[in-house]
Amino acid sequence: MGSKAIQGKLWGQNPLDWAAIQEPTGKAGYDYVLKHVEINNGTVLLDAGCGTGYFSNLAHQTGATVTGLDASEEFVTFAKERVPGANFLVGELEELPFADETFDVVCGFNSFQYAENTRNALSEALRVLKSGGMLAAMIWGNREECETSTYMAANGSLMPPPPPGARGPFALTENHLLEQVLKEVGFKIKSADDILSVWDYQDIATALKGLLSTGVSARVIAYAGYERVYETSAKAIAAFIQPNGHVVYRNKFRVVLAEK
């Protein structure tokens, strides 16, 4: 048993807001992978934790044969409509339903840190990659370099302290844990870069819709109630409202490329 049962429910509650507002905030990472990994009409690619299919669509446009897998049925339903030429299914990162050496490229954008057992999830990614295949994993950069961490901390204050080793946005960031686990399961690290990601919401209402569509926010809402989370979020966002009314966060994403 992995993370699917829990994460699927959390992340599938607001697929429209996630697809329209929040999923595009990862575009800097998506563009980085498209630039640094060979993805074309001969590529067989797995988007592991595909969300509503934003990156899957970008990869599909290169001509790649794309399969997307996500824990959320609602996300997968949306992805099928967004990218009818790709194959999408609901599944478990830690038990990938594919044969050994199926894919040339496996991508995981802000997904592996939510696996119940990171080692199992990355071992599965290694298993389904062809020899010489590439893994592209994007996670958060250092907490102190991510302005959105102030929002997360504010909402986190509404929850009881998490147990040691709990899954979360920064679970694989500290001490470069992602890179350590990748090496342990057998990957060869090719590069690890922290890239700037500027989140520019047109107003506070849009920012709140996007941020509250995440599975992390859904967990807090289930515990503390929507109104309390909304009020706390609005206060946390206030410091990042620009003179033009936009809400702007400057964050870092870490993109690790590794070879089988």
Is 151 a residue whose pLDDT tops 80? yes
Q: Where are the domains of the chain?
A: 4-146+163-199+251-259
Considering 1-5, 10-14, 159-163, 198-202, the range whose residues carry the highest mean pLDDT is 198-202
* Under 8 Å between Cβ of 189 and 183: yes
Is 10 a residue whose pLDDT tops 60? yes
Classify domain 4-146+163-199+251-259 at the CATH class level: alpha beta
**CA–CA separation, 64 vs 142, rounded Å?**
32
Q: What is the mean pLDDT of residues 124-150?
A: 97
Average pLDDT, the chain: 94
Decide which of 152 and 166 is more confident: 152
Is 2 a residue whose pLDDT tops 80? no
Q: What is the mean pLDDT of residues 75-92?
A: 97
**CA–CA separation, 36 vs 31, rounded Å?**
9
In this structure, how many other beta carbons lie within 10 angstroms of the beta carbon of residue 2? 19
Q: What is the mean pLDDT of residues 57-82?
A: 97
Look up residue 229 and give its two tokens.
């989370």
- Tokens 């969300």 map to which residue? 51
Question: Going edge to edge, which strands form the sheet with 44-48?
Answer: 87-90, 65-70, 44-48, 103-109, 129-140, 247-259, 188-201
Q: How confident is the model at residue 3 (pLDDT cuts 50, 70, 90)?
A: confident
Is 41 a residue whose pLDDT tops 90? yes
Q: At 255, which helix (H) or strand (E)? A: strand 247-259
Query: Helical H runs in the chain?
Result: 4-11, 15-17, 27-36, 54-61, 73-82, 118-128, 149-156, 177-185, 204-211, 215-224, 226-237
pTM of the prediction? 0.94
The confidence score (pLDDT) of residue 163 equals: 62
The confidence score (pLDDT) of residue 1 equals: 47
Amino acid occupying residue 202: Q
CA 39, 41, 46, 49 torsion: positive or negative? positive
Convert the pLDDT of each residue in 192-242 to its tens digit: 999 999 999 999 999 999 999 999 999 999 999 999 999 999 999 999 999
Q: What is the mean pLDDT of residues 150-160?
A: 92
Q: How confident is the model at residue 166 (pLDDT cuts 50, 70, 90)?
A: low
The confidence score (pLDDT) of residue 58 equals: 98
Q: What percent of the chain has pLDDT over 90?
A: 88
In this structure, how many other beta carbons lie within 10 angstroms of the beta carbon of residue 13? 18
